[in-house]
Amino acid sequence: MSPRLLAMLLTTATCFTAAPITSLAQNRIEIASQADILLRSASNDALDSLFQSVHAISTSPTDSTKVCRALASPDRGSADTWLAVAQELSGDNRDRLTSALGEVALSGWQGRPSAFDEKAARTSLRQAGVRAAMLNDGFSASALSVDDVNATNEAEMEALRCRSLGWLLDAVASQPLDERAAITRLLLRDGLASVLQKSAD
């Protein structure tokens, strides 16, 4: 799928408003609202395809950090964010991500918003976090949500965050499809920090 077609699908699916935006905060609120509608309208199969693509990219030495930064970004729900990430990836990963994003956009455009069991999604994510911690020495949930006190500089903090994210995605990959789709909705809508902080409550 070409970047031009993907951009058109994402823009149509999210129904971005043409009204003027008066501030960055207002813009992010609007993006979050439209992203929520899209994610609740997209099918579980489409969202799982997106999860699988992000999970695969998270194992790439050259591309994993770019996806990690996107998921941690306050603009993670914006089509522009993911289009920009896709264009920075290596060939196979770029094709994998743009194809998955196109599936989500088309599915969301054709579907209708459905109820989202946020509590169940957070429970599934918390279970994945526990499994990741049990299987991987050095996994840091705090690195995914706030600055880890054991990290001495920004580069070390990012490396710890991205490594822990990879382990978390490995754990999520072993869960049923509907749980993977729900967690994907949650991560894209709320981001790593807010998701893990709320899951810990």
**Predicted confidence (pLDDT) per residue in 139-181, tens digit:** 887 767 654 445 457 777 788 888 988 999 999 999 999 999 9
Token pair for residue 10? 């994402």
Point out the least confidently predicted range of 55-64, 157-166, 168-177, 185-194: 185-194
φ, ψ for residue 58 (rounded to 5)?
-65, -15
pLDDT of residue 1: 47
* Cβ atoms 171, 135 nearer than 8 A: yes
Q: Closest by alpha carbon to 186, among 97, 124, 106?
A: 124
DSSP states of 62-83: TTHHHHHHHHHSTTTT-HHHHH
Point out the least confidently predicted range of 19-33, 79-93, 133-147, 154-168: 19-33
pTM of structure: 0.79
72 CA to centre of own chain: 8
Greatest mean pLDDT among 25-29, 109-113, 122-126 lies in: 122-126
Residue 2 has a CB neighbour count (10 Å cut-off) of: 9
Point out the least confidently predicted range of 19-28, 39-48, 82-91, 156-165: 19-28
H/E stretch holding 99: helix 91-110
42 CA to centre of own chain: 14
> Taking CA 115 as the corner, what is the angle to CA 112 and CA 118, rounded to the nearest 5 degrees?
135
Is the pLDDT reported for residue 21 higher than 50?
Answer: no
Residue 25's contacts (CB-CB under 8 Å, 6 or more residues apart) are none
Is the pLDDT reported for residue 106 higher than 80?
Answer: yes
CA distance 114 to 91: 34
Largest pairwise CA distance in the chain: 49
Exposed, middle or buried, 17 (CB in 10 Å: 0-12/13-18/19+)?
exposed
